[in-house]
Amino acid sequence: MHIVTFAAAGGIHGIPILAVEEFTRPVPVTPVPLADRRVAGLMNLRGKSGTVIDLRKCFVKPHGEPSPNGKMILLETTDRLTEEARQLSVQVFREPVVLLVDRICDIFPIRFQDVQPRPAHVPERFVTGVLKHGKDYVSLIDLMILIDDILNPRGTS
Amino acid sequence: MEESSVIQEFILETTHVLQTVEQDLLSLERASDVGTLSRVFRSLHSIKGSSSFLELAAIEKLSHHAETLLDLLRKDKRKLTPPMNDALLKCVDQLREMLQQPDFGQTINLDATLASLESFIKGEPPAPPPPKPAPVLDAPVTGSTVHTRIQSILPSIPASILPETIPPIPSPPPTPPLVAASPPPSINVSVSVPVKSGEASANSSPRIEVMVNPPVNMTASLPPKSVTSAAKPAPEPEPAEEDKMMRVRVKFLDDLLQLTGNMVMARNQLLAKYNFADDPAFITLSQCVTEVHKTIVQTRMNPIGSLFDRCERLVRDLSRQLAKEVKLEITGRELELDRSVLESFADPLMHLLRNGMDHGLEATADRQAVGKPRTGLLKLGAREQSGEVILSLADDGRGIDLDAVKDKAVAKGLIPASRAAMLNRRGIMDLLFMPGFSTRDDVTSLSGRGVGLDVVRTNIEQLGGIVEVDSNLGQGTTFTARIPLTQALVSSSLISAIIVKSGEQRYAIPQTAVDEIIRVNPEGDRDRIHRISGQSVYQLRDQVLPVVSLTEVLGLPVQEEGDGARILIVMQFRGQLFGLQVEGILGVEEIVVRPLPELVRHCKIFTGHTVMGDGRVALILDGNGIISHRKLVFADEFHNRHNGHAAERSDGPQRLVVFSFADDEFFAIPLEMVSYIEKISTAAIKKVGAREFIQVNQRTMPILRIDKVMSVSAMTPHKEAYLIIPARVNYPIAVLAGRSVSVVDVAEHYESRLSDGRGMLGTFMHQDRLVMLLDLYHLFERHSPDQFRSSPLETRPAHILVAEDSPFFQNLIRSYLENPPRRLTIVANGRLALELLQASPEEFDILVSDIEMPEMDGFELVKKVRLDARLRTLPVIAVTSLATTEHIERGLREGFDSYLIKIDKEQLVKTIERNIERGMQHRAVTKALANRAEG
């Protein structure tokens, strides 16, 4: 399976490339007052509206400042997943969701046996494992857990 | 692949067919009809054929059995009995279930159903026959049956108020068959007294009587032809060519709607970006886009009848299960709603029906013990009224025992006893909807209401609506759910919205929620916003409105005092007005409504979002959400002007009080001219010379008998009568009315050519009755000329001056304001208006002005008006299509009291009504000043 990695909150993270519909430059985002602080707002991309999750605000202890002109990763929606993605149990949300990150890094194949479980000191539930790629440690993000945490916030947010 | 699509088609087709079969079976139980029976037979036959072709053995077997039984019925070798129908309906249910299963029901146990069908085929009833052995259908093929249960309702309706067209009802025949001349028409039972607004509305919606649980009914045979017309929309064996339908997968329609929504938004973006507005090709394209969108929205509309059909089945089944005889009366079937909205009604409605059947209606024996008709009555209705969909379900059961409800809520610890003691009727009823009020196991401990009603409320509230309950102990209970149409906002529908700004962001407010727009002055004395115990308020004429600032609502930091929010948007939510303070208005736009994405759906102050011309997202504000978010407090709970009668908003000029004097002559007065209605005993009327007086609420009032001031028949003597006490007069005269008083909504215009200038403004037809619209002020003047000449201010209708140059809008405004009667003077430009005003400043109560006019425009007019000391307090309303911020701001700065940005009838009428009182004060003051100057 191929993953795409990106930088956010001072770390490198990865998600399955099959979960991604496209990468874009940032487009204007309309903030939603009273929404979860991890939600940057709503955006419109060619007639489709998406909820923008600012990944840089999703970590308990972020490192570094968020880049002023980040990148957007538009995720697939469940009904548009390819057959291949389904077979690999890639999971995404029913509605369009966009991740706001600092920059896109790389795309490369991974083998499951290379993935280590989440280290004990990492508190984020949505990080399901880590793997070494070159000199970087890449934390793998489970999108469903990330989104579920925002839908049903518990404890600290 | 190909085979699976064939099977898919079979499932779709069969599901549809089964729906029809179910309806047909239910209707056959009420009245036999050969055509319907044959259709059911054919349907099952074709299901059998298709399933055999597709080798779906279980479905084939079941449908084969049903077909065999139906064949016997068709050939009149068996008679359809309720138990037999149970079996057939069960068979429909099972076929449905099988269609849903991956193996098409190969594993479902059909033995019981097959056995019961088998026994009916062999002609041996499996269970003991129903109490009355006589079968329901006496002569299934040649004659059919119609129930004359209508009889039981009849005596309670005074013959005088029944529409004349109703023929005599045939008396119950001693022995069938009796051939009646014509089918019994449906009877609008709710025509009678007392005033209950809306109940007897003018909707000429056909009523459909549905009989359930027929075994004990008396029956009368009728020729088959008339039965079809009496029973239901006639089951057409062969649909007419132009009515041919095609089934489309809902998903396609959803997608199509979404796509056209995108097209509309893209079109708006193009308009914003390039100046295409003059290009004919673009205009054509633009219109097409709008039309396509409209058509697709229409495609998704379904009559609510499709939902009510399901209710019939539920009521029938429950009626048999609970052994209660129930009659379900349905009105408003033809009301059309988007299918997604309809779907969301289904659950709460079924819940309420079940509740009503189970707990609302008493057992048959109990009903008889208290002298009620054996058969319980459930009335299910839908209607649309002033922008709301109103669903109501009424039963004539045991009603709600308020004390028991109170005690129980206290016992359950839901509220402290001290608070319970203070609750009014409405507050107590509200307890029923509290979560945890009632659960299945303890329903018998009180009147039995409240089973999961909190769930019903939650469901309705999710649609932005409210649900209310009203009940009379021993007489029944009515549940009413109101859902604002703007709230039932269907995804991708197109609405007109006011765009406001807060900081960098824009927000949209649906125009239907906006009452008026006012400029406020944070510092000055006049038009100030005050703070009372932590809440901002604004004095709008005679009302104190709670006010919130948009910045506050959005949870953004608010600067101390005067945060630049100088525009107050008066929003209306269910009769409650509140003000939303905003920094500025950017204009009015047609926007495409999109639902709020799930990740932000908990932000209740928004109802959806849209994409603006520049491609950015804007959020749509929700009045309801703002109220509950800010916990706004309203001065009074609900204006309850009708003296204990059901309070209904008195909106729209077409709402009339219709009453009789002589029993067969009907008159009408606009509801807004009525303060309250009182039932009196005619013995209480005191005579002093030629005059009559009555004591009502410690006040002695003269009585006006219409026959004394107009040439109409004298009142038929009765022991009781009604008094209509007019509003907005300082010398009230009570109008005596006969036995029938009702509030109706009249859609048609009255025929004003028949006006006689002596008290009658015109006539109109309502429910086949000729109704005369009265000029109350004129009649009062005739009744007591002295009183009324000396104080003409309060008694004559308001005089409205309209400055408008376009003949089209002149006519439009005239048509908006002519009913109920108002005095109108229309001039074509500002200069003429100013001349009139300056010539007789005390003549007019209100000025309505366009902005763009020749010779003198609206801005200049209002400026000049305000410069004249005599006209400084005259209410002036701008009505224009110039809707940019600059225009609105300038208008309010120059002195307009309100700025209406579109010719919207309701808004215009409301704004004028609200200004009239001030206008009358203005006129009184001006006149007094003028007199002083002269003297």
What confidence score (pLDDT) does residue B486 get? 55
CA B571, B496, B903 angle in degrees (round to 5)? 80
What is the rounded CA–CA span in Å between residue B9 and residue B246?
A: 13
Give SS3 for B638. Answer: coil
Q: Which of B311, B459, B322, B479 is nearest to B400 (CA)?
A: B479
Q: Kindly report whether the peptide bond that precedes residue A66 is cis, defined as omega within 30 degrees of 0.
A: no
Residues A13-65 have pLDDT tens digits of 999 999 999 998 888 999 999 899 999 999 988 777 899 999 999 988 888 78
What ipTM did this prediction achieve?
A: 0.91
Which of A28, A47, A150 lies nearest to residue B599, judging by beta carbons? Answer: A150
Residues B14-44 have pLDDT tens digits of 888 888 888 888 888 888 888 888 888 888 8
B607 and B464 in one domain? no
What confidence score (pLDDT) does residue A76 get? 93
- B129 is a domain residue: no
Sign for the CA dihedral angle at B603, B605, B608, B611 comes to negative
Q: Do B599 and A50 touch (CB under 8 A)?
A: no
What is the rounded CA–CA span in Å between residue B617 and residue B610?
A: 6
Contacts of B605 in chain A (CB under 8 A): 33-34
Cα of B17 to nearest chain A Cα, Å = 30
Q: Do B600 and A147 touch (CB under 8 A)?
A: no
H helices present in B531-647, as ranges: 550-553, 623-630
Residue B535: Cβ within 10 Å count = 14
Which of A29, A32, A50 lies nearest to residue B603, judging by beta carbons? Answer: A32
Between residues A57 and B236, which one has the greater pLDDT? A57
What is the rounded CA–CA span in Å between residue B624 and residue B640?
A: 21
Sign for the CA dihedral angle at B402, B405, B407, B409 comes to negative
Q: Give the H or E element holding residue B65.
A: helix B57-74
B508 and B397 in one domain? no
SS3 assignment for B808-839: HHHHHHHHHHCCCCCEEEEECCHHHHHHHHHH
What is the DSSP annotation of B678-720? Answer: EEEEGGG-EEETTEEEEEETTEEEEEE-HHHHSS-PPPPP-SE
- A157 is a domain residue: no
Asked if the C-beta of A92 comes within 8 angstroms of chain B's C-beta atoms, the answer is no
Residues B682-701 have pLDDT tens digits of 888 888 877 888 887 667 78
The CATH number covering residue B115 comes to 1.20.120.160
Residue of B nearest to A94 (CA): B598
Yes or no: say if B553 and B629 are a contact pair by the CB < 8 Å rule.
yes
Burial class (CB in 10 A: 0-12, 13-18, 19+), A35: buried
Q: Do B618 and A30 touch (CB under 8 A)?
A: yes
Which of A34, A44, A51 lies nearest to residue B616, judging by beta carbons? Answer: A44
B306 has a pLDDT exceeding 60: yes
Q: Do A30 and B617 touch (CB under 8 A)?
A: yes
Radius of gyration of chain A (CA): 15
B913 and B801 in one domain? yes
In percent, the amount of chain B with pLDDT more than 90 equals: 4
Residue of A nearest to B552 (CA): A33
Q: Which of B524, B516, B507, B517 is nearest to B561 (CA)?
A: B524
B593 and B732 in one domain? no
The CATH number covering residue B583 comes to 2.30.30.40
Residues B424-449 have pLDDT tens digits of 777 788 788 877 776 444 443 333 34
Phi, psi torsion values for B279, nearest 5 degrees = -80, 115
The CATH number covering residue A15 comes to 2.40.50.180
What is the rounded CA–CA span in Å between residue A26 and residue B265?
A: 21
The CATH number covering residue B420 comes to 3.30.565.10
Return the residue in A24, A29, A34 with the most chain B beta carbons within 10 A, the one to mutate for interface testing.
Answer: A34
Q: Which of B859, B851, B870, B884 is nearest to B924 (CA)?
A: B870
Contacts of B619 in chain A (CB under 8 A): 30, 32, 42
Last residue of a domain, one of B265, B283, B300: B300
What confidence score (pLDDT) does residue B935 get? 46
Which of A33, A47, A51 lies nearest to residue B599, judging by beta carbons? Answer: A51
B850 and B781 in one domain? no
B175 has a pLDDT exceeding 90: no
Between residues B516 and A130, which one has the greater pLDDT? A130
B761 has a pLDDT exceeding 80: no
Contacts of B603 in chain A (CB under 8 A): 32-35
Last residue of a domain, one of B122, B137, B155: B122
Contacts of B628 in chain A (CB under 8 A): none
What confidence score (pLDDT) does residue B499 get? 93
The CATH number covering residue B700 comes to 2.40.50.180
Yes or no: say if B393 and B349 are a contact pair by the CB < 8 Å rule.
yes
- A77 is a domain residue: yes
What confidence score (pLDDT) does residue B929 get? 66
Residue B860: Cβ within 10 Å count = 16
B894 has a pLDDT exceeding 90: no
B361 has a pLDDT exceeding 60: yes
Residue of B nearest to A38 (CA): B599
What is the rounded CA–CA span in Å between residue B629 and residue B579?
A: 14
Contacts of A94 in chain B (CB under 8 A): 598
B843 and B801 in one domain? yes
- A23 is a domain residue: yes
- B770 is a domain residue: yes
CA B292, B293, B298 angle in degrees (round to 5)? 95
Q: Do A33 and B262 touch (CB under 8 A)?
A: no
What is the rounded CA–CA span in Å between residue B459 and residue B391?
A: 14
Domain limits at B277?
A: 249-300
B846 has a pLDDT exceeding 80: yes
What confidence score (pLDDT) does residue B153 get? 38
Give SS3 for B511. Answer: helix
Yes or no: say if A78 and A94 are a contact pair by the CB < 8 Å rule.
yes
Please list, residue by residue across B154-166, b when 16 or more beta carbons sit within 10 angstroms of its beta carbon and e when fewer do. Answer: eeebbeebbeeeb
What confidence score (pLDDT) does residue B209 get? 38
What is the rounded CA–CA span in Å between residue B480 and residue B483?
A: 10
Residues B95-125 have pLDDT tens digits of 888 888 877 877 778 888 888 888 888 876 5
What confidence score (pLDDT) does residue B547 get? 86
Q: Which of A130-134, B729-733, B906-910 is least confident?
A: B729-733
Contacts of A30 in chain B (CB under 8 A): 505, 609, 616-619
A91 has a pLDDT exceeding 50: yes
- B516 is a domain residue: yes
Total domains, chain A: 1
Question: Cα-Cα-Cα-Cα dihedral of A15, A19, A24, A26, to 10°?
Answer: -70
Domain limits at A142?
A: 2-151
Q: Give the H or E element holding residue B862.
A: helix B858-867
What confidence score (pLDDT) does residue B449 get? 40
B174 has a pLDDT exceeding 50: no
Q: Do A50 and B618 touch (CB under 8 A)?
A: no
Those residues with Cβ within 8 angstroms of residue B243's Cβ, 6 or more apart along the chain or in another chain:
none
Q: Which of B576, B722, B546 is nearest to B639 (CA)?
A: B576
Between residues B508 and B229, which one has the greater pLDDT? B508
What is the rounded CA–CA span in Å between residue B622 and residue B573?
A: 10
Q: Which of B390, B627, B606, B615 is nearest to B497 (CA)?
A: B606
Residue of A nearest to B550 (CA): A33
Phi, psi torsion values for B700, nearest 5 degrees = -95, 130
Cα of A132 to nearest chain B Cα, Å = 32
Give SS3 for B507. Answer: strand
- Token duo for residue B661: 């004097």
Q: Do A30 and B600 touch (CB under 8 A)?
A: no
- B235 is a domain residue: no
What is the rounded CA–CA span in Å between residue B441 and residue B449?
A: 12
Tell me how far the alpha carbon of residue B837 is from its chain's centroid: 41
Task: Give all strands (DSSP E) within B199-325, no chain letters.
Answer: 208-211, 219-222, 301-303
- B642 is a domain residue: no
CB pairs under 8 A between A and B: 70
Strand order through the sheet with B799-803: B823-827, B799-803, B846-849, B876-879, B898-900
| DSSP-derived secondary structure letter, B9 | H
What is the rounded CA–CA span in Å between residue B276 and residue B743?
A: 51
- B750 is a domain residue: yes
Contacts 24+ apart (CB under 8 A), B725-728: B725/B674, B725/B675, B725/B676, B725/B677, B725/B678, B725/B696, B725/B701, B726/B669, B726/B673, B726/B674, B726/B675, B726/B776, B726/B780, B727/B641, B727/B672, B727/B673, B727/B674, B727/B675, B728/B673, B728/B675, B728/B794, B728/B917
Give SS3 for B139. Answer: coil
- Alpha-carbon separation of residue B359 from B356, B475, B568 (angstroms): 6, 13, 48
Query: In the structure, what pLDDT confidence band is assigned to residue B753 with cuts at 50, 70 and 90?
Result: low
Last residue of a domain, one of B106, B122, B138: B122
Q: Which of A88-97, B132-141, B591-600, B715-724 is least confident?
A: B132-141
Residues B69-101 have pLDDT tens digits of 888 888 888 888 888 888 888 888 888 888 888
Contacts of A35 in chain B (CB under 8 A): 599-600, 602-603
Q: Which amino acid is at B55?
A: E
Chain A, residues 46-65, CB within 8 A of chain B, namely 47, 49-51, 53
Contacts of A31 in chain B (CB under 8 A): 505
Total domains, chain B: 6
B827 has a pLDDT exceeding 70: yes
What is the rounded CA–CA span in Å between residue B615 and residue A27?
A: 10
Token pair 């999710």 is found at: B462
B172 has a pLDDT exceeding 80: no
What confidence score (pLDDT) does residue B208 get? 37
Task: Give all strands (DSSP E) within B452-528, no chain letters.
Answer: 466-472, 476-484, 494-502, 505-510, 514-519
What is the rounded CA–CA span in Å between residue B9 and residue B251?
A: 15
The strand pair at B734-737 and B699-704 is best described as parallel
Residues B616-659 have pLDDT tens digits of 899 999 887 787 777 655 543 323 322 233 333 333 345 778 88
Sign for the CA dihedral angle at B607, B611, B614, B616 comes to positive
Q: Do A42 and B619 touch (CB under 8 A)?
A: yes
A101 has a pLDDT exceeding 90: yes
Contacts of A97 in chain B (CB under 8 A): 599
What confidence score (pLDDT) does residue B123 get? 79
The CATH number covering residue B846 comes to 3.40.50.2300
What is the rounded CA–CA span in Å between residue B136 and residue B103?
A: 39
B479 and B436 in one domain? yes
- A156 is a domain residue: no
